[in-house]
Amino acid sequence: MNIILVSNRLSRAVTLGPRHLWLVAVFCALALLGSLTLASWATYNLTRSFGITLPSIPGVPASQQVQIDALAVRLGQMQAQLVRLDGLTRQVADRTGIDGQPFQSTVAAPQGGASSSLPARDLKLKELQALVGSADKRIEDAIDQYDLFNTILVQRKLNAFQAPANLPTEAGVRSSPYGWRLDPFNGRQTFHEGIDFVGDVGTPIMAASGGKVSRAEYHGEYGNMVEIDHGNGISSRYAHSSQLLVKEGDTVKTGQRIALLGSTGRSTGPHLHFEIRYKDVPQNPRYFLQLAKPATVNVAAD
């Protein structure tokens, strides 16, 4: 196929053969591609300058790569936490005489078991993200516990053990333990951050250890509350009191009366809600109460 071009400006007719038409087609295609590229570049820079994010196309592998990169960052953080945990393991092992080598993260934990009769299934990306998040949280909790144990060991070595290890009240019966429970107000499962001791209104509440009163005030949920700072990040909290006997800034001794038992704040009846915190993270008070006088912790069954 030939195309003949005739014009008054041309001295003679121009004939375009198949080869010429192919070159013209290639030129037009390159021009169109260049225009599209220029338009894309201009659109990208324009949207970026105005802070506009273009929607991603479903199924594009780049979106999965973003999630993989996020997991890689999380994994790097977990590896750094494990290094810190290994350091704490060595410190605690040195102070207790326990061989810490089997507990190092570089030593693989033995695992095994027979093959399951249930069919295996592939792990989805969201499930993997959830597992990584759960492992990250468990490492953080382990680090907090190790920090606490290390602090207690140092205090004992210096003969300056100030952990709140004494019963805060003679009303030793416990109505609600530390941990997950059904909330008495809404019936939902919530985490109870302390121990509840049942008693009569006016029963004395004592400081579980010496320290400085950091809070002595009314709280919407804790009611009349006292909080004592025992140093080294350890504090104890006494809630729902009918009356406070100390004020913020007071220095108290172990066993000193600091409040009277009551039912103020978010409470269903007279009791003491007792908490122990390390770096403001709630700990199980029973661990501390057993440090000094395990036989005197008169509690009801869980």
- Residue 10 forms part of a structural domain: yes
Same domain, 135 and 232: no
Same domain, 180 and 291: yes
- Residue 93 forms part of a structural domain: yes
Q: Where are the alpha helices (DSSP H) in the chain?
A: 18-49, 61-96, 125-157, 285-292
- Residue 261 forms part of a structural domain: yes
Q: Which residues of the chain have pLDDT under 50?
A: 5-6, 10, 14, 47, 50, 52-58, 60, 293-302
Same domain, 204 and 280: yes
For residue 81 the two structure tokens come to 């936490």
Convert the pLDDT of each residue in 89-121 to its tens digit. 777 777 666 677 777 777 766 666 666 667 777
Same domain, 138 and 222: no
- Residue 107 forms part of a structural domain: no
- Residue 301 forms part of a structural domain: no
Same domain, 292 and 204: yes
Q: How many CB atoms lie within 10 A of CB 283?
A: 19
Same domain, 35 and 143: no
Distance, C-alpha 190 to centroid of its chain: 16
Same domain, 224 and 264: yes
- Residue 60 forms part of a structural domain: no
Ramachandran angles phi, psi of 191, nearest 5°: -95, 120
Are the C-beta atoms of 252 and 228 separated by less than 8 Å? yes
Domain that holds residue 89: 69-102+125-160
In three-state secondary structure terms, 129 is helix
- Residue 116 forms part of a structural domain: no
Same domain, 12 and 35: yes
pLDDT at 302: 31
Same domain, 196 and 268: yes
Which residues, including other chains, have CB under 8 Å from residue 237's CB and lie 6 or more apart?
Answer: 194, 222, 225, 226, 227, 228, 273, 274, 275, 276, 277
Same domain, 196 and 255: yes
pLDDT at 54: 44
In three-state secondary structure terms, 161 is coil
Which domain CATH number covers 275?
A: 2.70.70.10
- Residue 229 forms part of a structural domain: yes
Same domain, 25 and 77: no
| pTM, rounded to two decimals | 0.53
The residue assigned the tokens 């199980």 is 284
Same domain, 189 and 248: yes
User: Rounded to the nearest 5 degrees, what angle is found at the Cα of 195, between the Cα atoms of 190 and 200?
Assistant: 120
The number of domains in the chain is 3
